[in-house]
């Protein structure tokens, strides 16, 4: 998927190096420029994905907090929710729903 996107800057850099005389210095400079652009693009994509992931985790925690306002809400590493009653400090186990939850992914 990314190979076709990443090959375009390399083609442009090669054409630029050929037009500017084809010297090894220009070729090395073009390769370094393309490598820098690729690293910058990859880090930008990674940053955007991490931001989206962080937002989704916060959103699901806010939904659970609204669903159980009397509890402290924490998402465990295994994906389950830990609900602690604010008044007693004990683990709160919610009653079973007679219907599937509205947001089944939570």
The count of domains in the chain is 1
Count CB neighbours of 12 within 10 A.
13
Quote the mean pLDDT of the chain: 81
Q: Does any domain span residue 52?
A: yes
User: In this structure, is residue 89 part of a structural domain?
Assistant: no
**Domain housing 37:** 2-68
Instruction: Supply the DSSP symbol for 57.
Output: H
Distances (CA, A) of 97 to 11, 60, 61, 81: 58, 18, 19, 16
Query: Are 46 and 52 a contacting pair, CB within 8 Å?
Result: no
101 belongs to a structural domain: no
Q: What is the pLDDT of residues 3-34, one digit of tens each?
A: 666 666 667 766 765 666 656 777 788 889 99
Q: Is residue 106 part of a domain?
A: no
Quick check: is 24 in a domain?
yes
The pTM of this model reads 0.54
- CA angle, corner 39, sides to 22 and 6, nearest 5? 65
**Beta strands of the chain (E only): which ranges?**
71-75, 81-85
């Amino acid at each position: 998927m990314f190979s076709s996107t990443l090959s375009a800057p390399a083609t442009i850099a090669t054409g630029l190096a050929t037009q500017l005389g084809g010297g090894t210095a220009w070729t090395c400079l073009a390769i370094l420029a393309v490598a820098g652009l690729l690293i910058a693009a990859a880090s930008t994509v990674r940053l955007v994905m991490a931001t989206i992931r962080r937002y989704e985790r916060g959103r699901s925690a806010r939904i659970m907090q609204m669903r159980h306002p009397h509890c402290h809400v924490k998402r465990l590493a295994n994906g389950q929710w830990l609900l602690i009653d604010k008044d007693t400090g004990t683990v709160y186990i919610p009653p079973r729903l007679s219907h599937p939850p509205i947001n089944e992914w939570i």
